[in-house]
Chains A and B, each alone.
Chain A
Amino acid sequence: MVMKYLSGNEAVAQAALAAGAKVIAGYPGTPSSEAIGSIWNKDIAGVHVEWSTNEKVALEIAGAASWANQRALCTMKMSGLNVAYDSLISFVYSGGLGGFVIYVCDDPGVAAGMPEQDVRGFAFMSDMPVLEPCSVAESYSMTLYAFELSEAIGGPVMLRSVTNVAQSHAIVDIPAKRPIAERPLLLEKDIAKYTKAGAIICMNQHRDLIKRLEAAEEKIGADGLHQLKLGKKEGLGIISVGVINSFIEEAMGLAANQGIDTKDFSFLRLAGSNPLPKKEISKLIEHCGALVVLEENEDYIERCAYLEAYKAAKIMPITGKQNGVLSRIGNFNAVTILKALYQAVDQELPPQFISYEGAEALCAARPIGVCAGCPHRGVYIGINQAVRKLGYKKDEVMVTGDIGCTILGMSPPFHTLWTEIAMGASIPMALGYHYAGIKTPVIATIGDSTFMHGGMPGLLNAVQNQVDITVVIMDNGWTAMTGMQVNAGTDLAFQQSNSTKQADIAKIVQGLGVTQLFIVDPYDLPLMTQTLINAIPLAGIKVILARRECAIQTGRRKIRYGKSIVLEDKCTKCKVCINTTGCPSIVFDGERVFVDAGQCNGCGICNSLCKFGALVKEG
């Protein structure tokens, strides 16, 4: 045993390496990014680690590696599984050879944005086993087990984590490294397994898939992954899964201190939701007089409990979401468990578990902003200026947004963007508004990584139909919001040593057939605005490529573009600069406006906004 300080994400990556994974691919997405982030660019012998173009590409790469009889891991956030699912479901129906683990992080309580979805639903839809670690330690041990299970049943296994497990850091006991037997490379030709050609093949695959899930149920049962502890006959039974398992001890300790006889309770601690642990649940139902079911978001286990109770012809109270005690919204903590517990034992929740919540109302609002020196700022202000100068009101011009840092243009002071749906959605949505009959200009905005991830098909669609929309691609060279990962367009100097080609979005756009391409530096605000003014009225599809590296990354390399200063004799304190840019480096202290030299990188976007000439570059 070795003690190691790891996050949940890192534990998954380390366990995959220990399990002998040969291909590890994914796309960044909070809260999952550190899994690949922690092992990327480390030149690990015999292992291919990559940030793929998108989650679907990553999954197809990892899936095929498993079909060549190698172990493979694929990582993503829950939204990424929506992208990858088309391929995943086909892989699951086919089954595989080498262990294939798909690591997906849900975000109950929404720490990072996007729908509060529960990816276990995808596992149920494709009859795919899903394991749910409750801690950093289990993130490690369950990853190891997931590879074993995958090979035992001959199909992919989902490892579903959640934000507070994936992002937790703790000391973990790492078992001593066992030598991993090299798996022979195989090229298995089997049309009935690896294609979907015809009804017979597809229905046979469906039958085999169901058998694999049954095999998983048997193995998980035989290996004792679910823990059933029976208490008093006809007493209360508590079912929990995933991160909730880690809160049970705390909640029971608190309840016991209040005089609740918790040692009478029965507990079923589940290691995962699919295959549904029907046997264990029916044992609990047979033994207990009432149940509490604890799972975040959807009520899959709880519905299984109702079904098993019905099959056993036993009517018993079940506390959870169906009876309205727990919510499908948000994440749980020990108090959530106590609420359900006190309801189940028909007692009032003691007042010490109800905390004072009034303080937050006094807290100053802190909208998500744009960093000092962010090149996107030039695009948002440029769009706002161009719309006005072309004679439109702001609420007459639709500007669709995409995913990532580029969406921050929805925030004050810009209020530029109207929509946020999914990676790449901004361009087809602009088409939709246009086809719906909107006569005013429609503008789509998208980032570089997002464009390559999912934006290209939409742009091709626009080219094919030569639609009158304007697309602004904000190319800052990085997949920034998720913590600065590389993408195909990132400078080769920052890529892994085996990367040999940098994608050029200008060439991609031209290759897709766009003839009206304008390349502009968003730090040059007058040119940015003028380019938009020129491009927007033109017929057909126009692309403006606003190109400037992310200020966080250049800042880390100590790159400055001079320094902006306020000439106090010219400053009228009108504060147009602050109101227009929202730049954190421009400060008004109640008496004077000045630039915080520690934050300003000299981007110069603010300079042209001051009509008194008070904001200038020093020197």
Chain B
Amino acid sequence: MLATTLDIYLVGVGGQGILTIAELITKAAEAKGISANFFPTKGMAQRGGFVKAQLKLGHNEVGPDIRPGGADLIIAMELSESLKALRFLKQDGDCIIYGYNWQPTEVMLGKAPYPTVEQVKEEVTKAGGHVTYLPPENMPEGVADNIYLLAAAVKHTCLGKFFTAEEIQEAIISRWPQGAERNMASFEAGMGAL
């Protein structure tokens, strides 16, 4: 049976476009007549701070927060920040990570540690989830990384059981009719990412 609800926890760093991914999924839900509650938390970040969003789709009545262990899917745009979402992942849930490193100054100066890809993958396993990892070095030049990640999520995670690629593409095109060509190229790249 197809799931009727989908709860998505999204994390990243201000300026990456993680909230845009959530908005596009919300738009796709809207077009399908699926109820959606989208709760972004920007905190004090202008750029470079932790950003998260909680998206709950298909519920009759819905509280804005995803409970610990309640997310069907985690979409992370920054390697280290993905760790902040893991306690919200459901057993057997999906976790897709675009492994970009947005290093805080202390990390850049070698004064503070930063998790490795292997560490993060291991943590997803400990949390009982399935990881899909997108190495940033594989992303083609000129591609919008958030669209790339969104497309990969449709292809490789439970997001694809809820929406077809076409439905997400339509949301992207209706959001930016002007930039459709570049965005569709980014989407295609994401579909073929792995």
Contact = CB atoms under 8 A, between A and B. Distances in A.
A170 to B, nearest CB: 5
A47 interface: no
A164 to B, nearest CB: 4
Interface residues of A, number: 57
A479 to B, nearest CB: 14
A108 B128 CA distance: 29
Interface stretch (B44-52, B132-140, B159-167, B182-190): B44-52
A250 B69 CA distance: 13
A164 B103 CA distance: 29
Interface stretch (A79-87, A279-287, A350-358): A350-358
B63 A246 contact: yes
Contact of B67 (A111, A165, A244, A250): A250
A356 B126 contact: yes
A247 B67 CA distance: 10
A250 B59 contact: yes
B115 A364 contact: yes
Contacts of B114: 364
A366 B14 CA distance: 12
B39 A362 contact: no
Contact of A582 (B62, B80, B86, B105): B105
A169 interface: yes
A168 B47 contact: no
Interface string B33-71: 001111111011111111000000001111111111110
Contacts of A134: 63
A360 B48 CA distance: 18
Contacts, number: 160
20 contacts: A111-B41, A170-B35, A250-B59, A331-B65, A333-B66, A334-B67, A335-B68, A335-B69, A354-B69, A355-B69, A356-B126, A364-B103, A364-B104, A364-B115, A366-B48, A368-B49, A412-B105, A578-B105, A579-B109, A588-B109
A222 B38 CA distance: 34
Nearest to B39: A168
Contact of B84 (A167, A170, A355, A360): A360
A197 interface: no
Contacts of A367: 104
Interface string A223-261: 000000000000000000001101111100000000000
Contact of B127 (A168, A356, A588): A356
A250 B68 CA distance: 13
A362 B123 CA distance: 9
Nearest to B115: A362
B107 interface: yes
Given A250-B59, A333-B65, A358-B126, A371 B47 contact: yes
A332 to B, nearest CB: 8
Contact of A334 (B48, B63, B86, B107): B63
B181 interface: no
Contacts of A364: 80, 103-104, 107, 112-115
Given A168-B38, A249-B60, A413-B105, A356 B65 contact: no
Nearest to B119: A362
Contacts of A357: 68, 87
Interface string B74-86: 0000001101101
B169 interface: no
Given A136-B37, A243-B63, A362-B115, A111 B43 contact: yes
A164 B41 CA distance: 8
A584 B48 CA distance: 8
B117 interface: no
Interface in B80-129: 80-81, 83-84, 86-89, 91, 103-109, 112-115, 119-120, 123, 126-128
Contacts of B26: 169
A578 B105 CA distance: 8
A244 B83 CA distance: 27
Contacts of B86: 356, 359-360
Given A167-B40, A368-B49, A587-B108, A363 B80 contact: yes
A505 to B, nearest CB: 23
Nearest to B46: A371
Given A111-B43, A363-B84, A363-B115, A335 B64 contact: no
B28 to A, nearest CB: 13
Contact of B109 (A331, A359, A575): A575
